[in-house]
Amino acid sequence: MHNTITIGLFGTCGSSRWRDQFVISYEDQGIAYFNPQVEHWSPALAAVEAQHLATDDIILFLVTGETAGFGSLAEIGFALCQAVTSSRYFVFLIEPTVDPDPEADPVLAKESLRVRTLVRAHLSLNTLPNVFVCETRQQMLDVSLALHRGLGLLRSARSI
């Protein structure tokens, strides 16, 4: 087992800036994190992302209203499969609406709302002790920091 507790920041990418608040907080506190949002993404990075999703201690999954989010919504199923069989922690937030964009496809936006509602309904029935569902970004940040502190204490106690 590695000693560094790593938080993976998954979910909406593109031009989204949702990770900024999290990165600042984590860097201020010396917390290791993985940010899959890079300036020049390439298919070769998919393996790196998959590895982090499979191994990071705490996985955050935020689907913002900035995009339809179909890729991120689909990845939630993979994350939940891992949550069932692991002792890692998973924190989800799916924003319930799609931001209005005058150039957006209304059919795509309507379908995104339908899928978001379905996934949120499934997550609301969660009974796994290592899965947390949040309603706000601040709540998600607070939960991730609390989990990081708790996991650090557990690892310290084991090394005594």
Q: Are 120 and 135 in contact (CB under 8 A)?
A: no
For residue 29, give the DSSP letter: T
Helix (H, G, I), strand (E, B) or coil at 79: helix
Q: Please check the confidence at residue 100 and state whether its pLDDT lies above 90.
A: no
User: What sections of 89-134 are H helices per DSSP?
Assistant: 106-124
User: Lowest-confidence range among 28-42, 100-114, 132-146?
Assistant: 100-114
Q: Residue 103: what pLDDT?
A: 73
Split at pLDDT 50, 70, 90, the class of 138 is: very high
pLDDT higher than 50, residue 68: yes
Cut 0.85: pTM above it = yes
> Which domains are delineated in the chain?
6-158 (3.40.50.10140)
